[in-house]
Structure 1
Amino acid sequence: MCDFHPGTINKINFPSEILDREVTLSIYLPKDFTRLFKYKVVFCFDGLDFFSFGRIHRTYERLREENKVERAIFVGFHYEDVDKRRAEFHPQGARTHLTVKAMANEILPYIDRTFPTFKVGNARVVLGDSLAGSVALMTALSYPRVFSQVGLLSPQHDEVIQTLLERCQFKEQLSIWHTVGIEEDDFELPTNGRRADFLTPNRELKNIIEAHGISHNYFEFDGSHRWKSWKELLDELLIYFLSDNISF
């Protein structure tokens, strides 16, 4: 077993048989971690970005000191490169279904075996930005009783996600926090320089989610499709999912 240190980002190479590769995971145990208590788990697709650009663990520790959030462990799922990210995160990616399956059948069981966690769906949060938001939503729609809490930062939405919403059973167990920037109607994609509209599809996704009667907290922020904007929203996101007073 790896030696995990509280208060630091612990990187491991997790061997996934489903993805047929090693997945780099960043695991953050809070400074006050103890095995005497159970923890919620926050899974972050685009994990390196959440830790490096979002500084989500620092935001958590500050909120924890202010007694605004509960005990939680953070697990970041890294992508290998831009092309492989698209293949494993995009709604129409050739390997995205394998990512979802690996999260539910390999990575989650490993975390539950290794740490004292609440082993219920409403104590597990899946987060993602952009394409990572898409795969986070697809994970929850595929396993709503396993991952029932979802945080979406400007996800990409298309007919694949709409079909999953229509087919999802137990969708009443889901709780979705969802935001998009009002400046995202004409965004230059960093990978190819093309222009893209994230705002209109996210408004459509909002309407579809609400039509299915899913618990949905949606708002639009004054900003663009960048971590500079998303980082400012992490306080609200963490308080939304980690302030249920299950265990202090």
Structure 2
Amino acid sequence: MTIRIAIRNSVHALALLLLSHVSISQVRLQVFLETPEGTYPGSVFVAGDFNGWDPGSPGELLQYNGKDYTIILDSLKPVPFQYKFTRGSWEDVEVMPDGSDRNNRVLELRSDTIIRLRVEAWKSAFSVRRKMSTAGKQVFALPDSFDMPGLGRFAKIHVYLPASYKHSRKQYPVIYMHDGQNLFDELRAPFGEWGIDETLDSLVRAGHPEAIIVGIDNGPRRVNEYTPFDTEKFGAGQGDAYVAFIANRLKPFIDKKYRTLRAPEHTAIAGSSLGGLISYYAWLSKPNVFGNAGVFSPSFWIAPRILPLTDSLAATVTGKCFFYIGEQEGDRYVKDMQEVADRLGARTRAIMYSVVDPIGEHKEASWRKWFAEFYLWIMGNGFNRQLRTR
């Protein structure tokens, strides 16, 4: 059964009318970038949904020509994409002149293009504005890092426990989430946090069900770990090893350490962007472990093989799958998600919720806005829903 909520407006229809009838498979973009005084001789990179939002990818390093930084990006697809400029990490990304966060830049190419842009300021110029920790008292960092077999690194884990945990003998459902840095604490979140702990505290006070949340920090090879298939641009996909780590090492530890409901119907996996992709893949490939999934703004563009995999495995999954994307992320990415959801819906017994938010963007603020809706639906009977469009 599918619950599809398509929140639309006239802007989308107008955009479709304006699309060119000429089919262009690839375009070339040259960027000339003016930067704040003192940037040179530092490095400048461009990161966006065309490179998995890698803030320091050598392939997207701009060159200094004595006046501006410049780069030529070949083989771009003529679809809308979002991007930002960085100095190699999300701790030093472009910001507004007053130091506040800058929205993602958006560009849609129809042909080979040259553009001139300006970075107003870098985040590091405002480092004196120290952020404060916002993690609630129910959020705990596990003292030991976890070896991740096949991935060559250790994982840092944070756990949210409901307020009733220490005063009861109840068992709780568990949601495993990726990009753990961005879930609970503004101090650790380079783009702003999801506010998971604050959201759940409020929902529980209102009488809604409780759950344990397990946040897994990402690592230096995030694109590879969250991608289940090999790609020409990014190399070997390590998604199978990452999912196996959660299913075979982390989940057994959490189930032993905490009072959990261990069955698949009480176990969910959720994330955004590449985290949305790997959440869907985990739910699809391991339904005996993960009974429910939250798929926010999934980067299906990087994994076209997800379509035939959906066709072959859809009949094996049950439970619930929540799909979300913002229309401001670009028509191509909306269509990618809807195609996967349509194929799944045609072949599965699972219950689905698919939503397109007309003002939603590819960023934490949008995912935070829809997390409560996902949580209430995934924890309820699968049919109740509450719309929040602003």
TM-score after normalising by structure 2: 0.55
Instruction: State the distance in 2 between where 1:135 and 1:86 align.
Output: 10
1:181 maps to 2:318: no
Instruction: State the distance in 2 between where 1:118 and 1:240 align.
Output: 18
Partner of 1:115: 258
Instruction: State the distance in 1 between where 2:175 and 2:283 align.
Output: 13
1:228 maps to 2:362: no
Percent identity between matched residues is 23
For residue 147 of structure 1, report the CA deviation from its aligned partner: 0.3
Partner of 2:304: 159
Task: Find 1:201's aligned residue among 317, 328, 336.
Answer: 336
For residue 225 of structure 1, report the CA deviation from its aligned partner: 0.8
Instruction: State the distance in 2 between where 1:117 and 1:240 align.
Output: 20
Partner of 2:139: 8
Q: Given that residues 145 and 173 in structure 1 are in contact (C-alpha distance below 8 angstroms), is that contact kept between their aligned partners in structure 2?
A: no
For residue 219 of structure 1, report the CA deviation from its aligned partner: 1.0
Partner of 1:210: 345
For residue 98 of structure 1, report the CA deviation from its aligned partner: 0.4
Structure 2, gaps ≥5 residues long: 1-135, 186-192, 230-235, 382-390
What are the superposed Cα offsets for residues 181-237 of structure 1, whole Å, 9 maximum, x if unpaired? 111116xxxxxxxxxx42121121121111222321101113111111111111111
Q: Max radius of gyration: which structure? A: 2
Structure 1, gaps ≥5 residues long: 187-196
Task: Find 2:172's aligned residue among 39, 55, 67.
Answer: 39
1:86 maps to 2:231: no
Instruction: State the distance in 2 between where 1:176 and 1:160 align.
Output: 19
Instruction: State the distance in 2 between where 1:178 and 1:109 align.
Output: 27
Instruction: State the distance in 1 between where 2:228 and 2:149 align.
Output: 21
For residue 71 of structure 1, report the CA deviation from its aligned partner: 2.4
8-17 vs 51-60, greater mean Cα deviation: 8-17
Partner of 2:355: 219
What amino acid maps onto 2:282 in structure 1?
A: T
Task: Find 1:30's aligned residue among 123, 137, 162.
Answer: 162
What are the superposed Cα offsets for residues 99-120 of structure 1, whole Å, 9 maximum, x if unpaired? 0111111111111111111111
Q: Given that residues 314 and 347 in structure 2 are in contact (C-alpha distance below 8 angstroms), is that contact kept between their aligned partners in structure 1?
A: no
TM-score after normalising by structure 1: 0.85
1:237 maps to 2:374: yes
Partner of 1:194: none
Partner of 1:72: 211
For residue 167 of structure 1, report the CA deviation from its aligned partner: 3.1
Report the structure, 1 or 2, having the larger helix content.
1
Moved over 4 A (4+): none
Q: Given that residues 16 and 102 in structure 1 are in contact (C-alpha distance below 8 angstroms), is that contact kept between their aligned partners in structure 2?
A: yes
1:100 maps to 2:243: yes
Q: Given that residues 45 and 77 in structure 1 are in contact (C-alpha distance below 8 angstroms), is that contact kept between their aligned partners in structure 2?
A: yes
Task: Find 2:268's aligned residue among 125, 128, 138.
Answer: 125
Instruction: State the distance in 2 between where 1:173 and 1:149 align.
Output: 8
